[in-house]
Amino acid sequence: MTTDAVRTVVLADLTTLRLGGPVGRYVEVDSSEAFVEAVRAADDAGEPLLVLGGGSNLVVADEGFAGVVVHDVRDGVEVEAADSCGGASIRVPAGQDWDALVARAVQEGWVGVEALSGIPGSTGAAPVQNIGAYGQEVSGVISTVRVWDRERSRVRTLPLVDLAFGYRTSLLKRSLLEPGSPWGPTPRYVVLEVAMQLRAGTLSAPVAYPELARRLGVQIGERAPLADVRDAVLALRAGKGMVVDGDDPDTWSAGSFFTNPVLTLEQVADLPDGAPRFGVRTSRPERSTGPSLGAVDPDLVKTSAAWLIEHAGFGKGFGLPGPVSLSTKHTLALTNRGPGTAAELVALARTVRDGVRSRFGITLEPEPVLVGLALDDAA
């Protein structure tokens, strides 16, 4: 079923940043067939297309979006198989709320996404960004992703080997970033459904993140009860303003605004001694769940964007008392405490990016999708 809205829809009402102007046409879809037809019709008509899930990874211009906004409101989980030996094989529509899915997995004893608790947004966005937190990435449990290929105008099922997952990226996301790409702000591949294989158990995947291990009182590599891991992650995220709360303006954000930079060994040599350094997993994920996501690349190192921001002189709450500022809980989140504008938020992001580049020679890259806006002044 497709519903074309006749009312005026403003993207500020549909995004966690509470920013964005009116849309040209708004369509809600509650079936895979309606979803495909809405996307196909927009492309055939040459209309700009914005596919919307949870609205947690978007910064939309104050002028709005003149094209078609297709909002996937499907939810539910199809359990294809679930037993103590093979684990659970599930299929999830793209519109399903991600954290509700994680809560279901923990309740059912499905292992592999418990450390991804509290991440806002829809399941369809998860493989695009290869969402990750506290030692897990969604690529560790994905088996296939069913998509509508806008270029070939047909439904395709992409297996894990073809999805080319990396740190906060995938084949799906790269279709937006290729030079001369005709796609945007929606990628070439529109996610319809995500299939996952999760191990069965009462204990988590081995805990891989020091902060989480300390919170749980375990050593790196040990396991903990699934529910305990979820509770600990939610508490850690809440302390950083990374769990959406309508009463807390520190959470009126798009989550982490910048990705952690991945550097060559030559670039790392110029980092100050105190800057964090982490391994980067870039090879094909292993078929186990949890943090076993492939070998660490010896030629790359990841550092902390939050550390760079703070040491470039931008502390928590930078920008206050203005309507947009860094969160008072975490420097990676840019918040719209209201009544701010998208232009003001992007100006703040640009100031932070340029300050880090001037201090460290590293250019931070935005994680959210910018619609009608750009960090580069020329753009």
| Mean pLDDT, contiguous 10-residue spans, the chain (379 residues) | 68 97 97 98 97 95 97 96 85 98 97 97 96 94 97 97 92 87 93 97 94 96 97 97 94 96 92 89 49 68 96 97 97 95 97 97 95 78
Q: What is the pLDDT of residue 3?
A: 61
Q: Which of 256, 325, 344, 353 is catalytic?
A: 256
Kindly state the tokens that stand for 249.
Answer: 């303006």
Catalytic residue among 108, 310, 365, 367: 367
Active site residue 168: yes
Number of H helices, E strands in the chain: 10, 20
Active site residue 139: no
Cα–Cα distances in angstroms (integers) from residue 51 to residues 59, 139, 219, 375, in the given order: 13, 22, 42, 22
Is 360:271 a contact under the CB 8 Å cutoff?
Answer: yes
Q: What is the pLDDT at residue 282?
A: 61
pTM of the predicted structure, to 2 decimals: 0.91
Assess contact for 147 and 167: CB atoms under 8 A: no
CA distances from 322 to 40, 126, 177, 223 (A): 42, 32, 32, 44
| Catalytic-labelled residue, pool 18, 146, 168, 281 | 168
Closest CA to 373 of 35, 15, 4: 15
Residue 174 DSSP code: H
* CATH placement of domain 2-72: 3.30.43.10
Is 182 buried (19+), middle (13-18) or exposed (0-12) by CB count in 10 A? exposed
E strand intervals along 87-131: 87-93, 110-111
Told to judge if 286 belongs to the known catalytic residues of this protein, a careful annotator would answer no
Q: What's the CA gap between 19 and 368, in Å, rounded?
A: 13
Dihedral angle at the C-alpha atoms of 282, 285, 289, 290, nearest 10 degrees? -10
> CA-CA distance, 242 to 240, in Å (whole number)?
5
Sorted by where each begins, the domain ranges of the chain are: 2-72, 78-236, 245-258+305-379
Looking at domain 78-236, its CATH class is alpha beta
The pLDDT of residue 218 is 97
- Do 245-258+305-379 and 2-72 have the same topology in CATH? no
Position 161 scores a pLDDT of 93
Domain with residues 245-258+305-379, CATH architecture:
Alpha-Beta Complex (3.90)
